[in-house]
Amino acid sequence: MSTPAIQIDDLTKVYKVGETEVHALRGVTYQVEAGEFLAIMGPSGSGKSTLMNIVGCLDKPTSGQYLLEGEEVSTFDRDKLARIRNQKIGFVFQTFNLLPRTSALENAELPLLYSSHINSKQRTELALKALESVGLKDRAHHKTNQLSGGEQQRIAIARALLNSPSLILADEPTGNLDTKTSAEIMQIFTRLNEDKKITLVMVTHEPDIACYAKKRIYMRDGKIIREEKGREGCEDRAR
């Protein structure tokens, strides 16, 4: 058995807001093997984004253990978390999070902007290659505001790929896209997962989108309440 990509054990997260405590995660235990494609579903407020933020090393759990590729990151300080995040993880968000009035190429280059081991020519080559892999090489010099939502999300995926991550985390990646564009984005994710063997974890509230993943977990009130594998629950859904 190889080391799991993600191994979380009895994670809790409590947010303190003034006098009140919000129990966003109430003991989550789960394991994601390297190369899996997992969708996280569940109603608003069930803890999906909180879980993604912890898995993405953007936030720390209140208690519990998190091993990322076998390393216990739950004990890491902020600097160490930032380093491991840059090495291993690519992020894709619902709102694309691109720099406005900046070209597709410049956006895609961002993750390597401060890498001392890489010069600007190499950086541009890598960014162009990433843009090509999402079918956007001919848009490299377009500004983000000149591009459609689907094209902007493809730039965000190219940017997520720039550090050659072993793990991509996507929080509602098709939330702002129409059905046809959403399907195109999911085909790109499927290809990255199958061809490049990148582990993918995606939050979505759309069953059709979740059915592109090879496993689905359902959250409610800060806990995982159900898991589905393969086409289970997706029998009637086209893809």
Which among ligand ADP, Mg ion, none contacts residue 204 (Cβ within 5 to 8 A by kind)?
none
Strand, coil or helix: 41: strand
Return the biggest CA–CA distance within the chain.
53
Which residue, 22 or 99, is less far from ligand ADP as judged by CB?
A: 22
Angle (CA) 107 111 114, round 5°: 115
Distance of alpha carbon 36 from alpha carbon 25, whole angstroms: 23
Binding-site member from 8, 11, 49, 167 for ligand ADP (CB under 6 A): 49
The least distance separating ligand ADP from the CB of residue 55, rounded to whole angstroms, comes to 12
For ligand ADP, which stretch binds (CB under 6 A), given 41-49, 95-103, 105-113, 189-197?
41-49
Residues 74-86 as b/e (b if ≥16 CB within 10 A, e otherwise) read: bebeeeebeebbb
Which among ligand ADP, Mg ion, none contacts residue 50 (Cβ within 5 to 8 A by kind)?
ligand ADP
Residue 34, Cβ density class (10 Å: 0-12 exposed, 13-18 middle, ≥19 buried):
middle
Which among Mg ion, ligand ADP, none contacts residue 90 (Cβ within 5 to 8 A by kind)?
none
Which residue, 49 or 144, is less far from Mg ion as judged by CB?
A: 49
Site residues (vs ligand ADP, CB under 6 A): 15, 17, 22, 24, 42, 44-50
